[in-house]
Amino acid sequence: MFRAAVLALCLGATSAFVAPRAAPASSALKATYENELGVLPPTGFFDPLGLSTDLSPEIFEQYRTAELKHGRVAQLAVIGYIVPEVYRWPGEIAHGLPFADIPHGVAAIDAIPAFGWVQMAFAIGAVDYYGFLGDFASGKKPVGGKSIEELQTNELQHGRLAMIAILELLRHDSQNFVNPGFDGMEPLITGLPFIY
């Protein structure tokens, strides 16, 4: 044990004899993103892992498009999670299976027929392929004297909040599905008592 510790110290000390690494040359083309849309106080430009350090503007734009698309999908998912708590569509999801018989949340995964999953996969693929949810231009009209930049920043912030919200709804519902009544509350959405 003592010999291993001495060997580790000796190997660690050899790094003192290595020439220092030259700093990378700075480039005028190196982009910074501290002034992009979605940067708000108190966090400012939030990149704790430094993922945007050596990022080209084209890649940053791809990441921004992905963030916008995921935010919009998360907003739709949150609404889709809340609406069945108060309203059920009339009709059938499949022959002989009314919408009213499909349980809420995570429990619906096993209740939806296979063809229903195929339809959802094709719908999601079509939306993703045609790029409707990843374009800032779709559905934008300046209202109330707000600038388009302010509206776009608001949309990014709402999408970020929705991504956190759907993850928490799924976590809570999954835990309640595995261990019913773990929190002593039967309804999924406990912050909206007027629904029940």
34-71 tens-digit pLDDT:
888 888 877 788 888 888 888 899 998 888 888 888 99
State the pLDDT confidence band at 33, using cuts at 50, 70 and 90: confident
State the pLDDT confidence band at 163, using cuts at 50, 70 and 90: very high
Nearest to 152 by CA among 167, 165, 139, 164: 139
pLDDT the model gives residue 180: 73
Q: Quick one: what percent of the chain has pLDDT higher than 70?
A: 69
The span from the CA of 81 to the CA of 166, in Å, is 8
- Tell me the Cα Rg of the chain: 25
Bigger pLDDT: 79 vs 190:
79
pLDDT the model gives residue 46: 80
Bigger pLDDT: 116 vs 195:
116
pLDDT the model gives residue 165: 93
Torsion of CA 82, 85, 90, 94, to 10 degrees: 80
Q: pTM for this structure?
A: 0.69
- Mean pLDDT rounded to a whole number for the chain: 76
DSSP assignment string, the chain: -HHHHHHHHHHHHGGGGSPPPPPPPP-TT----TTSTT-BTTTBS--TT-TTTT--HHHHHHHHHHHHHHHHHHHHHHHHHHHHHH---SSEEETTEEGGGSPSGGGHHHHS-HHHHHHHHHHHHHHHHHTGGG-TTTT----TT--HHHHHHHHHHHHHHHHHHHHHHHHHHHHHHHSTTTTS--SS-TT-GGG-
Nearest to 157 by CA among 76, 77, 67, 80: 67
